[in-house]
Amino acid sequence: MDFSIRAANVEDCKDIARMIVELAEYEKVADHVKVTQRDLEQDGFSKNPFFHGIVAEVPEQHKTKDGHTKIGYALYFYSYSSWSGRAIYMEDLYVMPEFRGKSIGKALMSKVAQLGLAAGCNQLNFTVLDWNKPSLDFYLSQGSFDITADMGYHCMRCEGEALEHLAQP
């Protein structure tokens, strides 16, 4: 199946917002999504964007039953390792279920890697849930390694009241 990958623009935010919710549903946490289309427009397409996106599109004749031609996306931002320098972090990678198995996910991830290398990055990092065996197997088969399992790094988060408290002068 033909597909194309290109940089996301502000008009894509509606479809990206739709697919963010679809991905959250797959991860069983759809009620966690607070970000709206408007947030994406402001945070991704202003002067100092918090993230960048790429979208995968299929031709009109392959659109979904709901009429969508934007059927996958990857959302990423630049980060930094104090040990190895510039890095790229892939926050989301998603392909609609009916378009899986056609290497679109792989193509999106490769594109993020390519963009990272072009920007001088030495690492592509992301997280995956330990029960998400299809994704974990996919990533490991592509040559990644599990830093949590191999090196013992734990992800930590402060939010809500704890974060408010921390930010008190």
Binding to other proteins in span 7-26, by CB under 8 A: 20, 23-24
125 binds other proteins (CB under 8 A): yes
Query: Using CB under 8 A as the criterion, what x/- string covers residues 46-85 for binding other proteins?
Result: --x-xx-----------------------x-xxxxxxxxx
CA distances from 2 to 6, 57, 69, 86, 102 (A): 14, 9, 12, 33, 9
CA distances from 110 to 115, 145, 164 (A): 9, 16, 38
100 binds other proteins (CB under 8 A): no
Other CB atoms closer than 10 Å to residue 131's CB: what's the count?
9
Residue 169: CB minimum distance to other proteins, A: 7
134 binds other proteins (CB under 8 A): no
Task: Using CB under 8 A, pick the residue from 60, 61, 134, 152 that binds other proteins.
Answer: 152
94 is catalytic: no
The three-state DSSP-derived secondary structure of 72-111 is: EEEEEEEEEECCCEEEEEEEEEEECHHHCCCCHHHHHHHH
33 binds other proteins (CB under 8 A): yes
Smaller CB distance to other proteins: residue 67 or 167? Answer: 167
In the beta sheet, which residues pair with residue 142? Answer: none
2 binds other proteins (CB under 8 A): no
Residue 84: CB minimum distance to other proteins, A: 5
Beta carbons of 12 and 70 less than 8 angstroms apart: yes
